[in-house]
């Protein structure tokens, strides 16, 4: 095809040759982009290696939160040694600091947390059972029995908390119980109904369900102030026509919300402490103890991620870390997992089961012995070989928890090997 010569007005101006400066600038731009991409790829690879090897060079938000929870469980020696003061209002409104002798054993607090967590599980199961019976239209007596069981557990837990914290007023103990994650069942003398029951952490208390979304948001905004709670309580009750029970439900909700967020950042922890002091009328020693109890719950709810901070705690305060480690082993079903793996030896998944038993170390050996005892002391050749290998690596035998004891190095070694199998 013959090329036509177009006039300059149609073809446009002739292209200008690229200057050396433009070429150099483009080269440097390409190099800069290449360097940035290389740095990004290197950072991603470094984070991947960190996650794979568990070095914690770049801790996740969960890791930081669990470290903060573990620090709250361990009391500061300086705080324990310093005297506590509370402000008393004298004649004419004069505020006078009054020393207190309150002190709390954090080891006893941990034992109380473990007891309360079992009670809370039973309470929530009773609530779920009551709702299920109501939904299915089953026997009303079963529903009433489930509601009574939940109420009895709630009252008993509040009594235990009040007795331990030297807070004899039931109202204060119930507010603290809400801060520890318990559902709020109210403090009315009237019998509980199924509609009064709450779940573990509702978006809105059952007593305040009649409020619209706009009213609920405005109510929270009016409550989140630094004013003394009695003044806030009176103002909100007047503005929103709240009953005493509704105000108490709001008070419990605020305490539960702020204490639940306590370990997200130092600011959240400070706010949680102020909320406990303001809503529960707690002294600094009581606030620290409640935050320690909440920290223990935070660790227990973290699953296998709780092992590293608890193992670190084991070096400094073994009397605090050991019961929490034992509870983590129970909650994560380590012994059950080892027993299932021992049962699958000789089956189609035998190779994987062998790797699991070896990774779980003393818990794997414990499971093999328990299974052999059920079978009259008979070991399969594969189980015998695995047991010999584990015992060579973990001498001592017997109970796995007793073997690990309070030796942080042994626990660290066990977790490093068992981490992928858990």
pLDDT tens figures, 98-113:
445 577 899 999 999 9
CA distance 412 to 60: 19
Q: Are the beta carbons of 75 and 308 closer than 8 angstroms?
A: no
| Of 109, 108, 83, residue with least CA distance to 97 | 83
Sign of the dihedral through C-alpha 172, 176, 179, 181: negative
- Of the two residues 356 and 48, the one the predictor is more confident about is 356
Domain coordinates in residue numbering, the chain: 66-209+242-301, 322-418
Q: What is the pLDDT of residue 383?
A: 92
User: How far is residue 82 CA from its own chain's centroid?
Assistant: 29
Predicted confidence at residue 396, as pLDDT, reads 79
Instruction: Return the structure tokens found at 411.
Output: 């626990």
Q: How confident is the model at residue 196 (pLDDT cuts 50, 70, 90)?
A: confident
Q: Which of 104-118, 196-210, 250-264, 291-305 has the least mean pLDDT?
A: 196-210
* DSSP secondary structure, 247-282, as one string: HHHHHHHHHHHHHHTTTS-HHHHHHHHHHHHHHH--
Angle of helix 229-240 relative to helix 244-260, nearest 10 degrees? 130
Q: What is the pTM of this model?
A: 0.81
Residues of the chain with pLDDT > 90, as a percent, come to 56
Q: How confident is the model at residue 84 (pLDDT cuts 50, 70, 90)?
A: low
Q: How many CB atoms lie within 10 A of CB 94?
A: 8
Least confident of 78-82, 107-111, 354-358: 78-82
**For the chain, first and last CA: distance in Å?**
74
Separation of CA 395 from chain center = 34
53 vs 56: CA distance, rounded Å:
9
Residues 6+ positions from 111 with CB-CB distance below 8 Å? 323
Q: Is the pLDDT of residue 49 over 80?
A: no
Q: Is the pLDDT of residue 45 over 60?
A: yes
- Judge whether 156 and 166 are in contact, CB under 8 Å: no
Give the pLDDT band of residue 134 (cuts 50, 70, 90). Answer: confident
Q: Are 328 and 300 in contact (CB under 8 A)?
A: yes
pLDDT value of position 197: 78
């Amino acid at each position: 095809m013959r090329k036509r010569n177009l006039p300059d007005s149609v073809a446009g101006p002739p292209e200008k040759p690229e200057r050396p400066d433009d070429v150099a600038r483009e080269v440097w731009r390409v190099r800069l982009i290449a360097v940035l991409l290389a740095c990004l790829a290197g950072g991603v690879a470094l984070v991947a290696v960190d996650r794979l090897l568990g070095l914690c060079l770049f801790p996740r938000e969960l890791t930081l939160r669990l470290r903060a929870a573990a620090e709250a469980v361990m009391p500061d020696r300086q705080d324990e040694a310093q005297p506590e003061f509370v402000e008393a209002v004298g004649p004419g409104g004069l505020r006078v600091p009054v020393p207190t002798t309150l002190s709390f054993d954090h080891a006893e607090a941990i034992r109380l947390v473990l007891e309360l967590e079992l009670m809370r599980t039973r309470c929530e199961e009773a609530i779920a059972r009551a709702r299920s019976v109501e939904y299915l239209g089953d026997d009303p007596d079963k529903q009433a029995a489930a509601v009574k069981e939940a109420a009895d557990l709630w009252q008993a837990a509040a009594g235990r908390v009040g007795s331990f914290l030297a807070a004899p007023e039931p109202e204060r103990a119930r507010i603290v119980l809400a801060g520890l994650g318990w559902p709020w069942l109210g403090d009315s003398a009237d019998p509980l109904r199924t509609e009064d029951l709450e779940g573990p952490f509702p978006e809105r208390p059952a007593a305040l369900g009649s409020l619209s979304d706009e009213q609920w948001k405005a109510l929270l905004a009016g409550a989140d102030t630094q004013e003394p709670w009695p003044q806030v309580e009176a103002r909100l009750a007047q503005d929103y026509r709240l009953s005493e029970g509704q105000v108490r439900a709001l008070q419990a909700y605020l305490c539960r919300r702020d204490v639940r967020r306590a370990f997200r950042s130092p600011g959240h922890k400070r706010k949680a402490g102020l909320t406990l002091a303001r809503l529960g009328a707690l002294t600094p020693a009581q606030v620290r103890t409640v935050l320690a109890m909440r920290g223990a719950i935070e660790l227990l709810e973290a699953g296998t991620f709780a092992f590293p901070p608890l193992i670190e705690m084991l070096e400094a305060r073994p009397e605090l870390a050991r019961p929490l480690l034992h509870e983590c082993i129970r909650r994560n079903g380590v012994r059950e997992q080892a027993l299932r793996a021992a049962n699958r030896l000789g089956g189609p998944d035998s190779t994987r089961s062998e790797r699991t038993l070896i990774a779980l170390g003393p818990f794997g050996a414990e499971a093999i012995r328990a299974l052999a005892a059920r079978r009259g002391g008979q070991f399969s050749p594969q189980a015998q070989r695995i047991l010999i290998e584990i015992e060579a690596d973990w001498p001592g035998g017997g109970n796995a928890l007793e073997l690990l004891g309070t030796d942080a190095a042994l626990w660290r070694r066990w977790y490093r090997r068992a981490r992928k199998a858990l």
